[in-house]
Amino acid sequence: MQPLRTNISSLRGTINVPGDKSISHRAVMLGAIANGTTTIANFLQGEDCLSTIDCFRKLGVSIEQNGSDVVVEGKGLKGLKEPSDILNVGNSGTTARLLLGILAGCPFHSCLIGDESIAKRPMGRVTKPLKMMGAHIDGREHGNYTPLSIRGGELQPIHYESSVASAQVKSAILLAGLTTNGTTTVTEPHRSRDHTERMIRLFGGSVTVDDLTVSITGPQQLIGANIYVPGDISSAAFFLVAGAIVPNSEITLKNVGLNPTRTGIIDVLQKMGAEMTIENIRNEQTEPLGDITIRTSNLTATEISGALIPRLIDEIPIIALLATQAEGTTVIKDASELKVKETNRIDTVVTELRKLGADIKATADGMVIHGKSALKAKDVVVDSYGDHRIGMMLAIAACITQGTVCLKRPEAVAVSYPSFFDHLHSLM
């Protein structure tokens, strides 16, 4: 349990947010199955990405990690070896799902487990298409939940229509498709983040994108690359919102990834009237990045739905807090994916923000928030429920709360942002 700092008069300063979680995972994974050496700079040292390193070491890949510098000695598409130990993905859905895509094409047996949260997250969305391609996967509830057991091998290409816009599903199928003879396609209802597509190209491979359909023709051999990981916009989001809602604030976030499949939070802040500038926009290999400055702002409510949802899916907890400080009614819909994240984020966001006096209610596929409300707490205990993004959202909520608040399970933030509390306190 950690007391949170409340009633903050101002947040000022500059932060280098740590490397992007999605890109860090992919750099290790593609590095492992490429030929030759991959170097990664600004790798995220969060627990999720460390789980990815651990799993690939168990698959026989030599990976050296020195802080945020990582060197991966690639084994080639056929070079991973049967693990003698269980692959433990910890809290990381991305590790579980993308790893399954890689293991589907490997002619050996592996077992995959994770923590309590992973055990509740649906894996059928990836095991179903991978089984259609020819992988043998079993597990709890016919392979929908961990623990999972997988024996991969020769795969057939498929044309797959995913019912959810999920980069994890898309990426698992593309990674499996790398090994097949022929063209595998995935169509999604809305575009999800495209880091896998960009990074396959960076490793010398080829992927075709036609509107909402992505195709890969195998077999393809990848070549090791040197990668710089931009700052994670999903981590920056906590300080973007903090800067907008805490009085007398001005925060600059440096080297933030600005991939258009991830910038829904910027669109929302702009639509709500936030005072924000983006400078120094440039490309680092295949990913755009820039520096963002945000100031205390007068905000108005908005609607968030449809194709915007996958572009800000991980930011919805902190956007819910933002909406409590905007004049009017903010409606978030088409977001039932929130129910299958690290926690059911519709429930956890609504329950915890209500404890602080927010006017927020859950709907079947999102939430409705009436603003602007003053947050107050008298000896309130809020809970991250072990969900990193809920913990960080609550620490920012405390900044604008009058009273005393303690956070249960604050250590969850280390999943994606181990230095989060140090960075927050450096702005006070």
List residues with catalytic annotation: 314
CB 148 within 8 A of CB 127: yes
- The yes or no reply on residue 94 touching ligand S3P (CB under 6 A) is yes
- The yes or no reply on residue 95 touching ligand S3P (CB under 6 A) is no
- The yes or no reply on residue 51 touching ligand S3P (CB under 6 A) is no
Q: Give binding residues as ranges.
A: 21-22, 26, 93, 121, 166, 168, 314, 341, 345, 389
Q: Give SS3 for 232.
A: coil
- The yes or no reply on residue 117 touching ligand S3P (CB under 6 A) is no
Closer by beta carbon to ligand S3P, 240 or else 335: 335
CA distance 52 to 71: 14
- The yes or no reply on residue 365 touching ligand S3P (CB under 6 A) is no
The residue within the footprint of ligand S3P, chosen from 313, 375, 380, 405 (CB under 6 A), is: 313
Q: Token pair for residue 102? A: 């890689």
Angle at 261 between CA 399 and CA 231, to 5 degrees: 50
DSSP-assigned states of every residue in 298-363: -EE--EE-GGGGGGTGGGHHHHHHHHHTEEEEEEE-S-GGGGGSSS-HHHHHHHHHHHTT-EEEEE
Closer by beta carbon to ligand S3P, 291 or else 314: 314
The residue within the footprint of ligand S3P, chosen from 22, 91, 117, 127 (CB under 6 A), is: 22
- The yes or no reply on residue 235 touching ligand S3P (CB under 6 A) is no
Shortest distance, position 261 Cβ to ligand S3P, whole Å: 10
Q: Give binding residues for phosphoenolpyruvate as ranges.
A: 21, 93, 121, 168, 345, 389
Q: Token pair for residue 295? A: 């100031």
DSSP 8-state symbol, 398: H
For residue 332, which phi and psi values (nearest 5 degrees)? Answer: -115, 120
The interface region with ligand S3P, picked from 34-42, 69-77, 161-169, 293-301 by CB under 6 A, is 161-169
- The yes or no reply on residue 38 touching ligand S3P (CB under 6 A) is no
Instruction: Give Rg (Cα) of the chain.
Output: 21
CA distance 48 to 44: 9
- The yes or no reply on residue 337 touching ligand S3P (CB under 6 A) is yes
CA distance 251 to 245: 11
- The yes or no reply on residue 312 touching ligand S3P (CB under 6 A) is no
Shortest distance, position 338 Cβ to ligand S3P, whole Å: 9
The interface region with ligand S3P, picked from 165-173, 176-184, 201-209, 316-324 by CB under 6 A, is 165-173
**Of 321, 342, 341, whose CA–CA distance to 330 is shortest?**
321
**Of 267, 292, 270, whose CA–CA distance to 279 is shortest?**
292
Number of residues lying near ligand S3P (CB under 6 A): 11
- The yes or no reply on residue 309 touching ligand S3P (CB under 6 A) is no
CB 328 within 8 A of CB 359: no
CB 240 within 8 A of CB 294: yes
- The yes or no reply on residue 91 touching ligand S3P (CB under 6 A) is no
- The yes or no reply on residue 20 touching ligand S3P (CB under 6 A) is no
CA distance 43 to 24: 5
Q: Give binding residues for 3-phosphoshikimate as ranges.
A: 21-22, 26, 166, 168, 314, 341
The interface region with ligand S3P, picked from 3-11, 167-175, 183-191, 353-361 by CB under 6 A, is 167-175
Closer by beta carbon to ligand S3P, 8 or else 200: 200
Shortest distance, position 18 Cβ to ligand S3P, whole Å: 15
- The yes or no reply on residue 316 touching ligand S3P (CB under 6 A) is no
- The yes or no reply on residue 167 touching ligand S3P (CB under 6 A) is yes
CA distance 91 to 89: 6
Shortest distance, position 101 Cβ to ligand S3P, whole Å: 11
The residue within the footprint of ligand S3P, chosen from 24, 166, 249, 255 (CB under 6 A), is: 166
CB 21 within 8 A of CB 43: no
Q: Who's near 55: CB < 8 A, 6+ residues apart?
A: 87, 88, 89, 95, 99
The interface region with ligand S3P, picked from 56-64, 163-171, 198-206, 290-298 by CB under 6 A, is 163-171
The residue within the footprint of ligand S3P, chosen from 47, 194, 197, 314 (CB under 6 A), is: 314
Count other Cβ atoms within 10 Å, centred on residue 406: 16
Residues at the interface with ligand S3P (CB under 6 A) = 22, 94, 166-168, 171, 192-193, 313-314, 337
